[in-house]
Chains A and B, each alone.
Chain A
Amino acid sequence: MTNAPAVAGGTVLRFAAHAKFRFDEVRQAWVVLFPERLLLPDEQAVAVLRLVDGGRNADAIIDALSQQYEAPREVIAADVLAMLQDLADKRVLRE
């Protein structure tokens, strides 16, 4: 296995092959499934994850969210980078 990337503004991430981000009809909620773990992301986390597509880099995700939420970019940037790094360390996201 390759090491988890250090996430910066220019990092482009996508879901790892064995991480599944899908809508669960029973709960009417988004879920993230990965080996022996799962996440039930809150609304803000879902907003971030829906922008993780293997094309946008972290900066582009932050830009999109700061427009969507009309919030200061630096506040959003810190939260988004921390969340993406955490999910990269957990092998949910990869470069």
Chain B
Amino acid sequence: MTTESVAVEPPLALLAELTHRCPLRCPYCSNPLMLDRAGAELDTATWQRVLSEAADLGVLQVHFSGGEPLVRRDLVDLVGHAAKVGLYGNLITSGIGLDTARMTALSEAGLEHVQLSLQDSDLVRGDRVAGLTGAQQQKHFAARLVREVGLPLTINAVVHRGNLERLGDILELAVALGADRVEIAHVQYYGWALRNRASLLPSREQLERATALVEAARTRLKGVLVIDYVVPDYYARRPKACMGGWGRRFLNVTPSGKVLPCHAAETLPGLRFPTVAAAGLADIWYNDPVFGHFRGTRWMPEPCVSCERREIDWGGCRCQAFVLTGDATRTDPACALSPDHALMAEARERAALAVAEPASSTEPDFTFRRFTHSPRQSPEFAP
């Protein structure tokens, strides 16, 4: 048992999930299985208060996300308010619904950057994964609008077994669309993506080809395109430092106003999440038990607690530990030192079996994201 405690510093970034509504239905969506409906969303005045509180707390950047943030009619007002209180504003969007007037208004309101998602370089396959015909062409149009108003553009391409073979084309497309940065984001297996894991997880050979391709492209495109790329958890030897550590750098406000240490944290049982209706962000950040729960190193089990990387990896991802082992306090199985690391190999083997079935290799059997008719609230238990 260690007695050291890590000083709580102000958060760097706020993920403002304005809505769960989205015209797309991607089967790896990072939103929870139980989506907030429009009627549950925070109103404009509350979001503006949250943004002001975030700036006072020391948040430097705000990422407007969703769902699709463009479906919020007050998006320009919220972007403008963020700029007014000194937050660096980023729009994370599918690009669906963006037009010249909206783009100009967002830029004039003080937006600094746009991150545009792309499902594939192949229009038909991309639209199939997005669940919307014509989506990819609308995204190409949106990229042009971003560049026309002079904002920097990041392309975010989520990669998986079904599009990894076209990674080279995706990078070329990002350059052609005027991006100066691209995130090649391997699917993270929580929520919707976990349901579709056997259809999405790439093979080791695919992954090695992709990684080599990225290395070559980084050299070739140095000074033209910055490529962010991280090896996926299921092939990693060390876990990702999820969120830079629980309650260390990042907070997330959901459409209905819950405040989370990460966007997937509601998948963890036994935590009662605070809301912006009940407390201010600073009070939540420094005093709420949920934010203290996995903060620092005191909660850690072995092998984390005696590991020299404990303040680098921060134990990896709590949600992944829970979803794979049933215990959120265990070491992330992505770590080769975890006693549960064999779970990753088992998942890879199951995915390899799915590839071997001809029917599923040509037309993966995705569960697309959708609003359910189940109760709106996810179950909560008092700690």
B 215-227 binary contact with A (CB < 8 Å = 1; else 0): 0000000111010
Instruction: Give Cα distance in the complex from A1 to B115, angstroms.
Output: 15
Asked if A67 is an interface residue, CB under 8 A from chain B, the answer is no
- Which residues on A sit within 8 Å (CB–CB) of B181? 35-36, 91
Asked if A38 is an interface residue, CB under 8 A from chain B, the answer is yes
Instruction: Give Cα distance in the complex from A73 to B226, angstroms.
Output: 31
The residue from A5, A17, A20, A90 contacting B226, defined by CB atoms under 8 A apart: A90
Check if B113 sits within 8 Å of A18, measured CB to CB: yes
Instruction: Give Cα distance in the complex from A1 to B12, angstroms.
Output: 28
Task: Tell me which of B122-130, B146-154, B271-279, B319-327 binds A.
Answer: B146-154
Check if B10 sits within 8 Å of A27, measured CB to CB: yes
Task: Tell me which of B56-64, B342-350, B362-370 binds A.
Answer: B56-64
In the assembled complex, the CB of B177 is this many whole angstroms from the nearest CB of chain A, namely 10
Q: Which B44-82 residues have a C-beta within 8 angstroms of A?
A: 56-58, 60-61, 63
Instruction: Give Cα distance in the complex from A3 to B180, angstroms.
Output: 9
Q: Which B204-238 residues have a C-beta within 8 angstroms of A?
A: 222-224, 226
Tell me the number of A-to-B contacts counted with CB atoms below 8 Å.
Answer: 59
B 1-33 binary contact with A (CB < 8 Å = 1; else 0): 000000000101000000000000000000000
Check if A26 sits within 8 Å of B61, measured CB to CB: no
In the assembled complex, the CB of A87 is this many whole angstroms from the nearest CB of chain B, namely 12
Check if B112 sits within 8 Å of A18, measured CB to CB: yes
Asked if A24 is an interface residue, CB under 8 A from chain B, the answer is yes
- Which residues on A sit within 8 Å (CB–CB) of B63? 36
- Which residues on B sit within 8 Å (CB–CB) of A51? none
Check if B61 sits within 8 Å of A38, measured CB to CB: yes
- Which residues on B sit within 8 Å (CB–CB) of A45? none
Check if A91 sits within 8 Å of B180, measured CB to CB: yes
- Which residues on A sit within 8 Å (CB–CB) of B222? 4, 89
Asked if B93 is an interface residue, CB under 8 A from chain A, the answer is no
Q: Which A33-92 residues have a C-beta within 8 angstroms of B?
A: 33, 35-36, 38, 88-91
How many residues belonging to A are interface residues under a CB distance threshold of 8 Å? 20
Instruction: Give Cα distance in the complex from A33 to B178, angstroms.
Output: 21
Q: Taking CB as reference atom, which chain A residue is nearest B114?
A: A35
Asked if B90 is an interface residue, CB under 8 A from chain A, the answer is yes
Check if A1 sits within 8 Å of B113, measured CB to CB: no
Say yes or no: A36-B60 contact (C-beta < 8 A), given A1-B178, A89-B226, A91-B226: no
Instruction: Give Cα distance in the complex from A5 to B181, angstroms.
Output: 16
Asked if B88 is an interface residue, CB under 8 A from chain A, the answer is yes
- Which residues on B sit within 8 Å (CB–CB) of A17? 150
Instruction: Give Cα distance in the complex from A93 to B90, angstroms.
Output: 19
Check if B223 sits within 8 Å of A3, measured CB to CB: yes
Q: Taking CB as reference atom, which chain B residue is nearest A31?
A: B60
In the assembled complex, the CB of A48 is this many whole angstroms from the nearest CB of chain B, namely 20
Check if A24 sits within 8 Å of B58, measured CB to CB: yes
In the assembled complex, the CB of A33 is this many whole angstroms from the nearest CB of chain B, namely 4
Q: Taking CB as reference atom, which chain A residue is nearest B111?
A: A18
The residue from B10, B56, B60, B112 contacting A35, defined by CB atoms under 8 A apart: B112
Check if A26 sits within 8 Å of B226, measured CB to CB: no
Instruction: Give Cα distance in the complex from A17 to B152, angstroms.
Output: 9
In the assembled complex, the CB of B119 is this many whole angstroms from the nearest CB of chain A, namely 20
- Which residues on B sit within 8 Å (CB–CB) of A1? 152, 178-180, 224
In the assembled complex, the CB of B226 is this many whole angstroms from the nearest CB of chain A, namely 7
Instruction: Give Cα distance in the complex from A31 to B13, angstroms.
Output: 13
Say yes or no: A35-B113 contact (C-beta < 8 A), given A18-B151, A20-B88: yes
8 A-B residue pairs with CB within 8 Å: A1-B180, A20-B88, A31-B60, A38-B61, A89-B222, A89-B226, A90-B226, A91-B152
Kindly list 8 other residue pairs between chains A and B, CB separation below 8 angstroms, not including A20-B88, A36-B115: A1-B180, A16-B152, A18-B112, A18-B113, A26-B56, A26-B57, A35-B113, A35-B154
Pairs A-B, 10 closest by C-beta atoms: A4-B223, A26-B58, A35-B113, A1-B180, A33-B88, A3-B223, A18-B112, A18-B152, A35-B152, A3-B224
